[in-house]
C-alpha cells in the first residue's frame, strides 16, 4: 500500500519541487496550502490531494490523515516583510508551525521535517557558519524561524516525533518565484539600460540549486536517526551581488547595463551582508551540492524568461 505524506506550502516554490520528487517515490501526497503565495499551476493536480487550508486556523478542523511524514514548508518566506509588519512572522511562521506540530502529534505522525533558514544566524562572527555558531538575530523572520526550531525540538524531546530541521541558503532553479534573481529580471524587463541594486552590491551570498536542495532534504531526513537534528544546506561557493547581476545581464543578452546602487553594505535593514554556511554535517550523510552557482543562476534566468508571461505582471 502507498504511504501517505503531508506537504504544507506544497504549492510554493520549494514545496512544489519537494512534491514532485516525492511523487517519484510513489507516495500518496496531501498538500495543505492557502495559496497566499503558492499557485496551483506549480502542481500536477491529478497526482496530488490538495486542501485549501489556512494553517493559522484550528488544526483540529484539518483533514485527518494517517501520514508517515509531515513536511512543513508553508511560511512567510519574505525576510523583509517583518520590518514593516511586526505580526507576519509571529503568525505565519511561529503560530503556523506550532499548529503543524500539534496536528502531527494528534495524528500520530512520527517524522517532522522543517524548512528553516540561514537567516537564523543573523550576522555571525564565523564563516563558513556551522550549526553550533552563536546567533545574533537581525530580523523578525530569523527570530521566528529560530523560535519554530525551538518548538519543534522541544516536541521531539517530549518523544512525539523525530524531527529534521534544515537551515537553507537562498534556493534557485525551476519554479523560482522570489528573490534577487527575480527582482533583477523583473527590473531588466522594464528597463534594459539600467539596474537598481540594493546596497553596494558587495554583499556575498551562497545559493543552492533546487535539485541539490530537494535531494538533501529527502535523503538526510530519512538517513539520520537522532530525535532532532539541525542541518545547514548551502553551497561551498559564494558570489557577490555585482557578479550575480553580471551573469543575469549576460544571460538576458544585455550589454552596458548601468548599475545604480542604493548604497550601504546591506540591501535592507535586516539583510545579512555575508551568508556562507558550513555544510560538513550534511556531507557526513553523503550529500554535497553538484550544481555550480553560476550554472544555477543561468538556468533560473532561462526559466523566468521562458515563463515570463506567467511569472511577471
Ligand X SMILES: NC(=O)c1ccc[n+]([C@@H]2O[C@H](COP(=O)([O-])OP(=O)(O)OC[C@H]3O[C@@H](n4cnc5c(N)ncnc54)[C@H](O)[C@@H]3O)[C@@H](O)[C@H]2O)c1
Interface residues toward ligand X, by CB under 6 A:
9, 11-15, 33-38, 53-56, 73-75, 77, 92, 96, 115, 117, 168, 170-171, 177
Contact between 304 and 185 (Cβ < 8 Å):
yes
Give the span between the Cα atoms of 207 and 65, in whole angstroms: 35
Task: Give me the least distance between CB of 235 and ligand X, in Å please.
Answer: 12
Phi-psi group of 289: left, alpha or beta (phi > 0 → left; psi -120 to 50 → alpha; rest → beta):
beta
Helix (H, G, I), strand (E, B), or coil: what is residue 51? strand
Residues in contact with 36: Cβ distance below 8 Å, sequence separation at least 6, in sequence order: none
Task: Give me the least distance between CB of 75 and ligand X, in Å please.
Answer: 3
Overall residue count recorded for the chain in this entry: 313
Q: Which is nearer to ligand X, 15 or 273 (CB)?
A: 15
Helix (H, G, I), strand (E, B), or coil: what is residue 230? strand
Task: Give me the least distance between CB of 261 and ligand X, in Å please.
Answer: 23
Task: Give me the least distance between CB of 129 and ligand X, in Å please.
Answer: 14
**HSE on the CB side for 81, CA within 13 Å?**
18
Q: Which is nearer to ligand X, 55 or 257 (CB)?
A: 55
Contact between 217 and 166 (Cβ < 8 Å):
yes
Task: Give me the least distance between CB of 12 and ligand X, in Å please.
Answer: 2
Contact between 52 and 32 (Cβ < 8 Å):
no
| Burial (Cβ within 10 Å: 0-12, 13-18, ≥19) of residue 269 | exposed
Residues in contact with 132: Cβ distance below 8 Å, sequence separation at least 6, in sequence order: none
Task: Give me the least distance between CB of 173 and ligand X, in Å please.
Answer: 10
Q: Which of 134, 16, 152, 180 is nearest to 96 (CA)?
A: 152
Task: Give me the least distance between CB of 138 and ligand X, in Å please.
Answer: 15
Residues in contact with 26: Cβ distance below 8 Å, sequence separation at least 6, in sequence order: 2
Q: Which is nearer to ligand X, 29 or 75 (CB)?
A: 75
Q: Which is nearer to ligand X, 165 or 195 (CB)?
A: 165
Give the span between the Cα atoms of 63 and 95, in whole angstroms: 19
Q: Which is nearer to ligand X, 121 or 161 (CB)?
A: 121
Q: Which is nearer to ligand X, 72 or 257 (CB)?
A: 72
Q: Which is nearer to ligand X, 119 or 257 (CB)?
A: 119
Task: Give me the least distance between CB of 221 and ligand X, in Å please.
Answer: 14
Q: Which is nearer to ligand X, 155 or 171 (CB)?
A: 171
Cell 512543513 locates to 72
Give the span between the Cα atoms of 137 and 124, in whole angstroms: 9
Amino acid at each position: 500500500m502507498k504511504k501517505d505524506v503531508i506537504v504544507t506550502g506544497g504549492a510554493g516554490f520549494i514545496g512544489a519541487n519537494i512534491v514532485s520528487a516525492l511523487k517519484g517515490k510513489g507516495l500518496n501526497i496531501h498538500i495543505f496550502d492557502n495559496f497566499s503565495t503558492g499557485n496551483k499551476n506549480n502542481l500536477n493536480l491529478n497526482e496530488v490531494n490538495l486542501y485549501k487550508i489556512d494553517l493559522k486556523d484550528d488544526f483540529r478542523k484539518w483533514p485527518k490523515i494517517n501520514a508517515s511524514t509531515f513536511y512543513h514548508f508553508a511560511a512567510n518566506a519574505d525576510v523583509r516583510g517583518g520590518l514593516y509588519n511586526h505580526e507576519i512572522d509571529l503568525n505565519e511562521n511561529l503560530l503556523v508551525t506550532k499548529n503543524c506540530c500539534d496536528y502531527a502529534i494528534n495524528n500520530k505522525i512520527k517524522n517532522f521535517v522543517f524548512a528553516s533558514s540561514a537567516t537564523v544566524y543573523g550576522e555571525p562572527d564565523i564563516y563558513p557558519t556551522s550549526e553550533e555558531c552563536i546567533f545574533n538575530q537581525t530580523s523578525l523572520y530569523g527570530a521566528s524561524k529560530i523560535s519554530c526550531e525551538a518548538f519543534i525540538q522541544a516536541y521531539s524531546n517530549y518523544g512525539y516525533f523525530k524531527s529534521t530541521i534544515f537551515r537553507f541558503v537562498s534556493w534557485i532553479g525551476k519554479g523560482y518565484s522570489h528573490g534577487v534573481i527575480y527582482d533583477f529580471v523583473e527590473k531588466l524587463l522594464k528597463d534594459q539600460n539600467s539596474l537598481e541594486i540594493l546596497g553596494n552590491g558587495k554583499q556575498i551570498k551562497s545559493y543552492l540549486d533546487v535539485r541539490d536542495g530537494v535531494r538533501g532534504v529527502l535523503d538526510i531526513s530519512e538517513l539520520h536517526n537522532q530525535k532532532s537534528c539541525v542541518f545547514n544546506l548551502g553551497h561551498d561557493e559564494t558570489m557577490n551581488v555585482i557578479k550575480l547581476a553580471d551573469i543575469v545581464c549576460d544571460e538576458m543578452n544585455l550589454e552596458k547595463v548601468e548599475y545604480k546602487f542604493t548604497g550601504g553594505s546591506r540591501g535592507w535593514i535586516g539583510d545579512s551582508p555575508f551568508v556562507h554556511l558550513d555544510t560538513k554535517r550534511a556531507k557526513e550523510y553523503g550529500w554535497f551540492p553538484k550544481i555550480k552557482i553560476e550554472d544555477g543562476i543561468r538556468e533560473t534566468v532561462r526559466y523566468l524568461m521562458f515563463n515570463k508571461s506567467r511569472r511577471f505582471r
